[in-house]
Amino acid sequence: MSDLVRLLSPKYPPVAIFHTDTFPSYAQEPEREHCCIKSMFIPCVTEGRAVAADGSMVRCAGALNGLGLGGENPEGRTKLAEYYSDGPSGDDGRRFFCDRDHARSNYLEQVEVYGSRDDIAVMRPLEDAMAAGDPIETVVFYVDPLELSALMTLAQFSGEPRDSCARCGFALACEHLYAVPRQEGESDSPRLVLGMTEFYPRRFCDPDRLTVSMPYSLFERLEKDAPYSFLADGRWRGPARQDDA
């Protein structure tokens, strides 16, 4: 077992995300649900099921961006900027951004698009993926506040000095699972990525949980550090217990 997972002992085991050329025999196709969080991530993280999809199997165009399946067409991205700001008619948008320029500059231009629609994106329990030697690209933890605190603390245990160990900006929930942490992996000093802050997929989640995603390179550093850190000493849980206050 991963030392990090063993010492953290999260309620839900982490998920590995990677790409393959052929559909894995051990994986199932997504359920017939619009959002890939419901059809792929939740079954994987809560039930231990491996789920895989290519571009034709996802039912939300956003997943083409979020899961590294080539991205939706430019027209779709333009409509997304409209939808998240003032809307096509100028007064019926979601108002997540004050205008379309901000939607593009503060969101769309901040998240890279990867892969092609012929790629197979796989979500598999991390322990299974590690044991099989899968080409893991990102790792996702589904965390409560204490688990989040532990991962953020560990991220600074041996990391480069900086004012934040985590990236948290507007993006689709699936982009927070794959596209954004993969992008962080291209940095010399990758950060954790806080996710599941998109409003729509919250309906599928435990009310007290978010995701913490990371490129596999960062997971490997945390895995190496965990046995030498506070995680190896059970005292870190004590101050968070109300009965110990």
Q: How far apart are CA 231 and CA 245, in angstroms?
A: 20
Grade residue 32 by pLDDT with cuts at 50, 70 and 90.
confident
Grade residue 242 by pLDDT with cuts at 50, 70 and 90.
low
pLDDT exceeds 60 at position 18: yes
Q: Is residue 86 part of a domain?
A: no
User: pLDDT tens digit string along 51-77?
Assistant: 999 999 999 999 999 999 999 988 888
Q: How far apart are CA 162 and CA 136, in angstroms?
A: 26
Q: Is residue 87 part of a domain?
A: no
Q: Which two tokens stand for residue 25?
A: 């025999």
Mark out the alpha helices in the chain (DSSP H runs): 3-8, 36, 42-47, 62-66, 74-83, 100-106, 126-132, 145-155, 173-174, 180-184, 216-225
Q: Is residue 103 part of a domain?
A: no
For residue 142, the SS3 value is strand
Q: How many domains does the chain have?
A: 1
Domain of residue 161 covers 3-71+113-231
Q: Is residue 149 part of a domain?
A: yes
Q: How far apart are CA 71 and CA 198, in angstroms?
A: 18
Q: Is residue 48 part of a domain?
A: yes
Q: How far apart are CA 19 and CA 37, in angstroms?
A: 17
Q: Is residue 238 part of a domain?
A: no
